[in-house]
């Protein structure tokens, strides 16, 4: 039936599965068009909800609101309790007139010009996050490109290139060129003859010559040819001085700075690949769009203190924060999207497995800073339109605004986005100290910083009172021990949120988890 030289797709996949394990097979299946790129295939179809069936949702972030939206659509009666005075959770934006209070009581006031904003939480949307994009489309949330890969952004490392920032274009082309030359040398010396056939060796040498822009001697050297990728000292022009002059390639030892391949590798990540999007006017447009549909069901300023359940239903106690008054809500089922980092402040009547899972997951602490400048000098002086510049300093990176290119007047850039040691270091400072650090470190890229600076705000997630962290940080051990227990319906309570997903820290993960939570409830409710 099957030609010996033409294995069937099934045989091929089985072979790949045996040889390369599940990951290889999954990737091969994707390549062959078998596996989907996202788990979202459309909104859930929850037909036949029992009349009067009710659900209380804890948290009006995206997980909670998508759950509420679909439950209401299916005929459930839904109530949402939200600790803050606004919808969206981590999906939010800070604009002029807003203030941000840290967990130690420190207040920052935002003074950005009208139209300017910073997205302290989620800020970019991969093109394959189809669940999120589905609801943006459905609710009419206008999206625009998020300029992810900008070849003209900078790469900076204190211990490479003499501490001088280089354009991403320059170092990426040099990395490619130097590694191609080395591999060509190894091939030429016969060092890889055990690994490649003579025919493949010829093909690879040809590839390296073209891919690496090597010269006739298979060396990576400065030339106009190389400059056609890495840029010129004098770019091509017209007339008498039209001929370009080449730029000088960087030294091999500088190019192998980890900062170079870290940035190059970063753009290969599935979640970081172009095309990416952002909502026009701020990320909170998504949360606000959901609130237009489920807002009437939200009780704001409600601090949940206790979740009790028995065989018949759930009773949630909450405090109205302004008055201190304690109320209760009863429902048949509960979707709890409260972050694990603060859920221990809630008395949860759940089984031991879920209780253990809730305590097991650590949180990462990112920081973001928005800096407003008098003008777009990164565009006007440096020809950087969106995208990022990376550094090994605590601020981690700069990200340039992706909207209103070429416009006059003040603009906000992201002056820090970092996690780990850099984020802790900045978070431990006062707001004024953070600004000073961001200006000092950012000046490495842009000497215009001090002259053009207007104002800034810093959001260290470890000091955001309603979450005390940024995103869940699952280890493989924790996944194996606790993930299934965390996401499973426990009696009449089910957890949802980015922490209950394999897309931690992404809105897509929150929403897919919210949809899975209500599918579990609906299935159990329909079976009862």
Partner 1 sequence: MRRGLLLLPPLAMLALPFIASAQDMPGSMQAKNNTAEGGKIFKEICAACHLPDARGTGAIPALAKDANLADPAYPIGVLAKGKGAMPPMDDILTPAQMAAVITYVRTNFGNAYPQPVTEADVKRLGKP
Distance CA 304, CA 80 (A): 11
Tell which positions 53-112 bind partner 1, by CB under 8 A. Answer: 103-104
Decide: is 419 part of the binding site for partner 1 (CB under 8 A): yes
Contact status, residue 76 vs residue 514, Cβ threshold 8 Å: no
In whole angstroms, the minimum distance from the beta carbon of 309 to partner 1 comes to: 22
3-state helix, strand, coil in the chain (%, to 5): 40, 20, 40
**Interface segment toward partner 1; rule CB under 8 A; list 43-51, 305-313, 375-383, 418-426:** 418-426
To 5 degrees, how large is the angle CA 53–CA 137–CA 519? 30
Q: How many residues bind partner 1 (CB under 8 A)?
A: 78
The phi, psi pair for 269, rounded to 5°, reads -60, 140
Decide: is 469 part of the binding site for partner 1 (CB under 8 A): yes
Contact status, residue 442 vs residue 390, Cβ threshold 8 Å: no
Decide: is 276 part of the binding site for partner 1 (CB under 8 A): no
- Per-residue x/- track, 143-182, partner 1 (CB under 8 A): --------------xxx-----------------------
Report the residue from 266, 300, 385, 453 that binds partner 1 according to the rule CB under 8 A.
266
In whole angstroms, the minimum distance from the beta carbon of 122 to partner 1 comes to: 7
- 17 or 43, CB closer to partner 1? 17
Decide: is 473 part of the binding site for partner 1 (CB under 8 A): yes
- 29 or 196, CB closer to partner 1? 29
Nearest to 434 by CA among 411, 452, 412, 418: 418
Distance CA 226, CA 224 (A): 5
Q: How many CA atoms lie within 13 A of 258 on its CB side?
A: 2
Decide: is 287 part of the binding site for partner 1 (CB under 8 A): no
- 275 or 484, CB closer to partner 1? 484
Decide: is 45 part of the binding site for partner 1 (CB under 8 A): no
Decide: is 248 part of the binding site for partner 1 (CB under 8 A): no
Distance CA 400, CA 383 (A): 11
Decide: is 41 part of the binding site for partner 1 (CB under 8 A): no
- 76 or 146, CB closer to partner 1? 146
Whole-angstrom CA distances from 465 to 339, 413, 443, 460 are: 12, 25, 31, 10
Decide: is 251 part of the binding site for partner 1 (CB under 8 A): no
Decide: is 26 part of the binding site for partner 1 (CB under 8 A): yes
Strands annotated E in 103-196: 107-109, 117-118, 125-126, 143-146, 154-156, 166-167
Report the residue from 40, 44, 95, 124 that binds partner 1 according to the rule CB under 8 A.
124
Report the residue from 89, 460, 497, 514 that binds partner 1 according to the rule CB under 8 A.
460
Nearest to 57 by CA among 77, 79, 72, 76: 79
**Interface segment toward partner 1; rule CB under 8 A; list 56-64, 91-99, 265-273, 296-304:** 265-273
- 23 or 107, CB closer to partner 1? 23
In whole angstroms, the minimum distance from the beta carbon of 206 to partner 1 comes to: 30
Distance CA 371, CA 173 (A): 31
In whole angstroms, the minimum distance from the beta carbon of 259 to partner 1 comes to: 5
Q: Cα-Cα-Cα-Cα dihedral of 155, 156, 159, 162, to 10°?
A: 90
Cis peptide before 347 (omega within 30 of 0): no
The residues, any chain, with a CB within 8 Å of residue 243's CB and separated by 6 or more, are: 236, 237
Report the residue from 423, 437, 459, 521 that binds partner 1 according to the rule CB under 8 A.
423
Assign 3-class secondary structure to 84-124.
CCCCECCCCCEECCCEEECCCCCEEECCCCCCCEECCCCCC
Q: How far is CA 256 from the centre of its chain?
A: 26
Report the residue from 272, 355, 481, 488 that binds partner 1 according to the rule CB under 8 A.
272
Name the one residue in this structure whose structure tokens are 């020809």: 383
Decide: is 356 part of the binding site for partner 1 (CB under 8 A): no
Bridge partners for 107 per DSSP: 101
- 89 or 396, CB closer to partner 1? 396
- Per-residue x/- track, 317-346, partner 1 (CB under 8 A): -----------------------xxx-xx-
Tokens of 380: 């006007």
Report the residue from 213, 394, 457, 525 that binds partner 1 according to the rule CB under 8 A.
394
- 79 or 130, CB closer to partner 1? 130
The phi, psi pair for 282, rounded to 5°, reads 130, 145
Decide: is 365 part of the binding site for partner 1 (CB under 8 A): yes
Report the residue from 465, 519, 520, 524 that binds partner 1 according to the rule CB under 8 A.
465
Tell which positions 492-521 bind partner 1, by CB under 8 A. Answer: 502-506
Decide: is 139 part of the binding site for partner 1 (CB under 8 A): no
Residue 107 CB neighbour total at 10 angstroms: 9
In whole angstroms, the minimum distance from the beta carbon of 135 to partner 1 comes to: 19
In whole angstroms, the minimum distance from the beta carbon of 168 to partner 1 comes to: 10
Decide: is 363 part of the binding site for partner 1 (CB under 8 A): yes
Decide: is 263 part of the binding site for partner 1 (CB under 8 A): yes
Decide: is 425 part of the binding site for partner 1 (CB under 8 A): yes
The residues, any chain, with a CB within 8 Å of residue 196's CB and separated by 6 or more, are: 187, 204
Decide: is 418 part of the binding site for partner 1 (CB under 8 A): yes
């Amino acid at each position: 039936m099957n030609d010996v030289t033409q294995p069937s797709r099934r045989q091929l996949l089985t072979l790949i599965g045996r040889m390369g394990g599940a990951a290889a097979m999954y990737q091969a299946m994707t390549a062959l068009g078998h596996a989907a790129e996202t788990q979202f295939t459309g909104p859930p179809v929850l037909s036949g909800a029992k009349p009067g069936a009710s659900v209380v949702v804890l948290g009006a972030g995206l997980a909670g609101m998508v759950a509420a939206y679909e439950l209401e659509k299916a005929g459930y009666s839904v109530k949402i309790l939200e600790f803050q005075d606004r919808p969206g959770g981590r999906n939010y934006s800070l604009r002029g007139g807003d203030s941000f209070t840290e967990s130690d009581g420190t207040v920052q006031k935002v003074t950005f010009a009208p139209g300017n904003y910073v997205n302290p939480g989620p800020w970019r949307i991969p093109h394959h996050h189809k669940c999120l994009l589905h609801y943006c489309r459905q609710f009419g949330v206008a999206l625009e490109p998020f300029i992810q890969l900008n070849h003209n952004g900078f790469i900076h490392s204190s211990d490479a290139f003499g501490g001088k920032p280089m354009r991403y274009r320059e170092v990426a082309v040099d990395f490619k060129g130097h590694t191609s030359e080395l591999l060509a040398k190894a091939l030429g010396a016969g060092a890889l003859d055990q690994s490649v056939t003579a025919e493949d060796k010829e093909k690879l040498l040809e590839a390296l010559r073209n891919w690496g822009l090597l010269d006739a001697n298979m060396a990576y050297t400065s030339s106009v040819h190389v400059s056609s990728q890495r840029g010129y000292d004098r770019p091509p022009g017209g007339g008498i001085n039209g001929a370009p002059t080449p730029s000088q390639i960087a030294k091999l030892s500088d190019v192998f700075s980890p900062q170079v391949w870290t940035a190059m590798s970063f753009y290969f990540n599935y979640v970081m690949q172009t095309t990416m999007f952002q909502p026009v006017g701020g990320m909170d447009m998504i949360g606000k769009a959901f609130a237009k549909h489920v807002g009437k069901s939200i009780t704001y300023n409600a601090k949940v203190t206790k979740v009790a359940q028995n065989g018949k239903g759930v009773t949630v106690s909450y405090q109205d924060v302004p008055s201190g008054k304690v109320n209760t809500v009863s429902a048949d089922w509960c979707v709890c999207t409260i972050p694990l980092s603060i859920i221990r402040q809630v008395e949860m009547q759940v089984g031991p497995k879920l209780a253990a899972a809730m305590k097991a997951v650590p949180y990462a602490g990112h920081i973001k800073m928005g800096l407003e400048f008098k003008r777009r000098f990164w565009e006007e002086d440096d020809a950087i339109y969106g995208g990022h510049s990376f550094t090994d300093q605590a601020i981690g990176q700069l990200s340039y605004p992706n909207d209103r290119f070429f416009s006059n007047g003040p603009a906000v850039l992201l002056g820090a986005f970092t996690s780990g040691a850099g984020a802790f270091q900045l978070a431990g400072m006062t707001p004024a100290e953070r600004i000073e650090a961001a200006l000092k470190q950012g000046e490495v890229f842009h000497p215009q910083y001090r002259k053009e600076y207007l104002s800034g705000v810093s959001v260290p997630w470890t000091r955001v009172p309603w979450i005390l962290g940024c995103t869940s940080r699952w280890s493989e051990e924790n996944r194996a021990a606790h993930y299934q227990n965390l996401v499973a319906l426990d009696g009449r309570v089910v957890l949802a949120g980015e922490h209950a997903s394999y897309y931690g820290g992404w809105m897509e993960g929150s929403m897919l988890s919210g949809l899975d939570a209500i599918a579990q409830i609906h299935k159990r409710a329909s079976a009862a």
